[in-house]
């Protein structure tokens, strides 16, 4: 993808530079983990047994460990290497807990971690077609991110996604490492949030999501264990939690007093800043009129943080 800068009525190409993954990009990622991936930095070059993790991070929202690896060459299997790191994590939980507590001076316990949400992120200048095709498995706990560096100090991070995800990775990968990972790690879908009899809740969910995508086509769905995130550029704007009789909306980064809420329908999520490191305001969608109100509330967050 060619990037240009505007020079009067002319478009001037911005030249791409060679990416220094080890010295430049790794340092930048580690200094900007919250901005790029919403993660907390734990340590660099973490050695354990025969492997060394380039960047170890923690997802405070999901309470899960994330492994980040930077690749200079393209002759590796994202599935095999990704599963090797995940197996290392799952087979050595106490070591990762200890590393987290020593680095952050925290008091994290094994039961505090949601190991099912563990993930590996590969960062590279480019990926082969075969590596990109691997992202087509619907339950693969691995992400690919291409990074490009340009002459005007612009850096582009772009997640590689498959056009469709249908087949399970379990159909082709059946070795011992895959068995360890598959037992504990689960990739969630929108359908996992709904029970069979929740037809009305699903209708309200679909209407709200469609209305938000109409407001901003950058929106993407990010299904997690407890909710479906509606995000822009990898950052959730709202978390959507379907329930039997309503859709609970968690509006992120704001308190009720930050919003124009004429009917006083929102409420603050107690202890949200202490637990999630950000303010969370809740709103219930019980009918289609509430969808209109929810859209109006969310648009305010869009304008404040994402324009």
* pLDDT tens column, 246-275: 999 999 999 999 999 999 999 999 988 887
Tens of pLDDT, residue by residue over 12-48, are 888 888 877 767 889 999 999 998 998 999 999 999 9
What is the fold, at CATH topology level, of the domain defined by 4-184? Trna Endonuclease; Chain: A, domain 1 (3.40.1350)
What is the fold, at CATH topology level, of the domain defined by 190-305? 3.90.1150
Report residue 36 as tokens: 């790029």
**Residue 77 in this model has a pLDDT that exceeds 70:** yes
Read off the pLDDT band of 149 (50, 70, 90): confident
Read off the pLDDT band of 72 (50, 70, 90): confident
158/100 Cα distance (integer angstroms): 28
pLDDT for residue 165:
60
**Residue 182 in this model has a pLDDT that exceeds 80:** no
210/214 Cα distance (integer angstroms): 6
225/193 Cα distance (integer angstroms): 8
3-state secondary structure at position 283: strand
pLDDT for residue 174:
63
Rounded mean pLDDT of the chain? 89
In this structure, of 17-21, 64-68, 148-152, 245-249, the range with the lowest mean pLDDT score is 17-21
Average pLDDT rounded to a whole number, residues 72-76:
79
C-beta separation of 125 from 147 below 8 A: yes
- Burial class of residue 185 (count of CB atoms within 10 Å of its CB; 0-12, 13-18, 19+): buried
Average pLDDT rounded to a whole number, residues 47-76:
91
pLDDT for residue 168:
65
Tens of pLDDT, residue by residue over 207-247, are 999 999 999 999 999 898 899 999 988 788 999 999 999 99
**Residue 200 in this model has a pLDDT that exceeds 80:** yes
Helices (H), the chain: 26-31, 33-37, 78-91, 93-104, 129-133, 176-184, 199-215, 272-276, 288-305
- Looking at the DSSP assignment, which residues form a beta bridge with residue 56? 43, 67
Contacts of residue 130, defined as CB under 8 A and 6 or more positions apart, other chains included, come to none
Percent of the chain with pLDDT over 90: 56
Average pLDDT rounded to a whole number, residues 41-64:
93
Contacts of residue 254, defined as CB under 8 A and 6 or more positions apart, other chains included, come to 279, 281, 300, 301, 304
265/82 Cα distance (integer angstroms): 44
Contacts of residue 152, defined as CB under 8 A and 6 or more positions apart, other chains included, come to 5, 14
pLDDT for residue 186:
84
287-293 long-range contacts, Cβ below 8 Å, gap at least 24?
A: 287/204, 288/204, 288/207, 290/204, 290/265, 291/204, 291/207, 291/208, 291/211, 293/263, 293/265
In this structure, of 2-16, 68-82, 142-156, 172-186, the range with the lowest mean pLDDT score is 172-186
């Amino acid at each position: 993808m060619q990037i240009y800068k505007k020079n009067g009525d002319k478009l001037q190409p911005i030249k791409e530079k060679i990416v220094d993954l080890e010295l430049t990009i790794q340092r930048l990622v580690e200094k900007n983990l919250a901005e790029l991936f919403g993660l907390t930095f734990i340590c660099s070059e973490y050695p354990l047994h025969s492997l060394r993790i380039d960047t170890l991070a923690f997802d405070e929202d999901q309470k899960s460990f994330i492994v980040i690896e930077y690749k200079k060459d393209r002759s590796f299997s994202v599935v095999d290497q990704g599963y090797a790191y995940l197996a290392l994590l799952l087979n050595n939980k106490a070591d990762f807990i200890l590393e987290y507590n020593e680095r952050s001076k925290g008091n994290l316990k094994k039961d505090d971690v949601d190991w099912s949400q563990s993930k590996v992120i590969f960062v590279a200048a480019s990926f082969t077609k075969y590596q990109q095709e691997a992202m087509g498995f619907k339950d693969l706990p691995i992400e690919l991110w291409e990074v490009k560096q340009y002459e005007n100090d612009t850096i582009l991070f772009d997640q590689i996604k498959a056009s469709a995800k249908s087949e399970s990775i379990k159909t082709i990968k059946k070795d011992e490492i895959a068995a360890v990972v598959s037992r504990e790690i689960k990739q969630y879908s929108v359908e996992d949030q709904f029970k069979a009899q929740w037809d009305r809740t699903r209708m309200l969910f679909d209407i709200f999501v469609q209305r938000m995508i109409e407001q901003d086509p950058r929106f993407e769905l990010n299904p997690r264990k407890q909710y479906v995130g509606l995000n822009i550029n990898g950052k959730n704007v709202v978390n959507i939690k379907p329930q039997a009789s309503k859709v609970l909306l968690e509006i992120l980064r704001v308190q009720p007093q930050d919003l124009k809420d004429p009917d006083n329908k929102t409420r603050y999520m107690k202890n949200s800043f202490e637990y999630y490191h950000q303010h969370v305001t809740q709103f219930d969608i019980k009918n289609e009129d509430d969808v209109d109100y929810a859209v109006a509330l969310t648009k305010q967050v869009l304008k404040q943080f994402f324009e």
